[in-house]
Amino acid sequence: MNIDFQDIFSDFFYKISLLLPNIISAIVVLIIAIIAGKVVFKIIEKATNKKWKDSIISSFLAQIIKWTFYLFGVVIALNFLGFTGIANTLFAGAGVSAIVIGFAFKDIGENFLSGIILALKRPFEIGDIIEIQGDKGTVKALDLRLTHIRNPEGKDIYIPNSTIIKNTLTNYTKDGLLRINFMIGIAPECDIEKTRKLILDYLKTNKNILKNPEHNVVVQELGEYTTDIQVFFWINILSVKNLPDEYLGHSIRSKVITDIKTILDKNNIEMPSQVIEHKMYRQNKILIEDN
């Protein structure tokens, strides 16, 4: 039996030539849908953000509209190629395939629904500082599947939306108030009330420290060779949250500690030092005693 490859290839290319206009039309429609989706995405995002002053909702709504354009483009392209009937038959009759596809896209669907919940529930805004399962950073974007945050080291972290919904979320900038505390140890012979007054006077004059809620200085522990004093004060993190060096008030905390140390040194408030006694014995007699 002789096989005429020339006739086979001729027939194949003839059929391709018949489908070529439909293929070109499908590609053109798909390209137009993609371009239109991106253009509409930009327009909707700017318009809604300007009207609602809400970057999360505007971005999320624009994303949905953009992907709707993409979906319509794919459907129309399939119509040009003549695959609509085949696709409908497959989805109507292949129950097992539908289950497999459902499991395959379970995570995508879960993250998509979680993104909708986050956009409506609003546990954070763009620019807020949040922490999820040890990942801490500034929220940069929220899309249909992921939340983008950037940590203080400049690392970009992309967290699935379902992870945020399922786990505890800490928002450090929801109302702008953040309490900072640290411990200072002074020598037991130093005047506690004088120390407290010096620190409180300084806290009142620091412009970065809020007057309300009120700051405080309390004695935490009385030790063998130290008196531990705890310092509490509040800052408005919203005024510094966009500055990496001021992340969560660490720079303010460092400056406050440094300034208080300088003030205590000027007023002869000494830091604690452990006294160690050394003794040397010979035949039950003390030869040297050093304090």
Assess if CATH 3.30.70.100 describes domain 177-266: yes
Domain residue spans of the chain: 5-104, 123-171, 177-266
Which residue, chain included where needed, has tokens 């030092």? 273
Phi–psi pair at 72, nearest 5 degrees: -60, -35
Asked if 80 and 29 touch (Cβ cutoff 8 Å), the reply is yes
User: pLDDT tens, 202-222?
Assistant: 999 998 889 888 999 999 888
User: pLDDT tens, 237-254?
Assistant: 776 555 444 445 567 888
User: pLDDT tens, 28-73?
Assistant: 888 888 888 888 888 877 776 666 555 566 676 777 788 788 877 7
Overall pTM surpassing 0.75 (yes/no): no
CATH code for residues 5-104 = 1.10.287
| Residue 16, both tokens | 């391709």
Question: Which residues have C-beta within 8 Å of that of residue 206, sequence separation ≥ 6?
Answer: 233, 256, 259
Judge whether 5-104 and 177-266 match in fold: no
Fold of 123-171: SH3 type barrels. (2.30.30)
User: pLDDT tens, 124-137?
Assistant: 888 888 899 889 88
Closest CA relative to residue 189, chosen from 267, 277, 272: 272
